[in-house]
Each structure stands twice: as structure tokens, then as C-alpha cells.
Amino acid sequence: MDKELLISEAKKARENAYAPYSGFTVGAALLTKDGKIYRGCNIESSVFSPSLCAERVALAKAISEGEKEFEAIAIVGANANEDPTAPCFPCGVCRQVLSEHVDGSAFRVVVEEEGKAISYTLAELLPKAFVF
Ligand code: THU
């Protein structure tokens, strides 16, 4: 897996973010096991609660196209200050939603930390996920 490429795809996705309320724009790039990439961005709503996170937009696009096997997701995001040292980790809701579709001990979450693409397993970020 090319972590840098996945981060650059997430950056392209972020260009389409619709975040007029928070000003915090996020992009995600979800890599399938057979090498396809699905991009997602956050999409906010004036009534706030229907706002969509970038990761779940990417996942919904992929699942709705019949994808079932995922290898990794890259996430980039920041507020207007664009602090390059602050990585954008997925929120707890997105961690939980992803956990239902992947093997958490193998699936990688890629974020940019001080300009470098760093990856974690989903299980590291969400140990003991809820299982129905
Ligand atoms: N957001 C994401 O897109 N992904 C996350 O994992 C955390 C937060 C979005 C939601 C909202 O539009 C903005 O970032 C600020 O919370």
C-alpha cells in the first residue's frame, strides 16, 4: 500500500468538502483490497445533525457500489489555521462504523503527522469495538 498516494487522494477529496459551519474541511480516501480508491469529503448541513463525515461518505460510496473488502483509509483535515503538525484522526463514530466492514487488526488508518504519512491499525484506534 502506498500511504503517500492515499494521503494525496484524501487531499483531492478534501477540495470538495462542504463545511461552511465548522470551517473544518476533511477528505478521505478508502482503498479496496483490489486497489480501487473511493474518495469522500465532509458534507455539513444547516441543521447540523445530518452532517456527514468524510470517512463515512467514502465508505457509503464504496459499499453502495458493491465493495466488500477494504485495506486502508487515509484521512486529512484541518481548520482554517491549517496546522500541519496536527493529524486528523477519525472520530469515534467513524471508527465504529468502519469496524463493522473490516478486520480491525489488519485494516490501516493513514494520517499525516508532521508531513509524514503514518498508519495505525483500526484496532489500535478502537480496541474493543462494539459488536452486535
Ligand atoms: N469530520 C469528519 O469529516 N471526519 C471525522 O472523523 C471527524 C469530523 C467533520 C465533521 C464536521 O463537518 C467537521 O469535521 C467538524 O467536526
pLDDT of residue 77 exceeding 80, the answer is yes
Residue 54 in domain: yes
Rounded Cα–Cα distance for residues 75 and 132 (Å): 26
Cell numbers of 100, please?
463493522
Residue 131 in domain: no
pLDDT for res 24: 95
pLDDT for res 70: 98
Q: What percent of the chain has pLDDT over 70?
A: 99
pLDDT for res 85: 75
Domain containing residue 85: 3-125
Rg, the chain, Cα only = 14
Residue-wise pLDDT for 52-65, tens only, equals 999 999 999 999 99
Determine whether the shortest distance from the Cβ of 54 to ligand 1 is under 6 A. yes
The residue nearest atom 14 of ligand 1, judged by CA position, is 24
Residue 111 in domain: yes
- Whole-prediction pTM: 0.96
Determine whether the shortest distance from the Cβ of 51 to ligand 1 is under 6 A. yes
Residue 7 in domain: yes
Half-sphere exposure (Cβ direction) of 107: Cα atoms closer than 13 Å? 24
Residue 130 in domain: no
Residue 91 in domain: yes
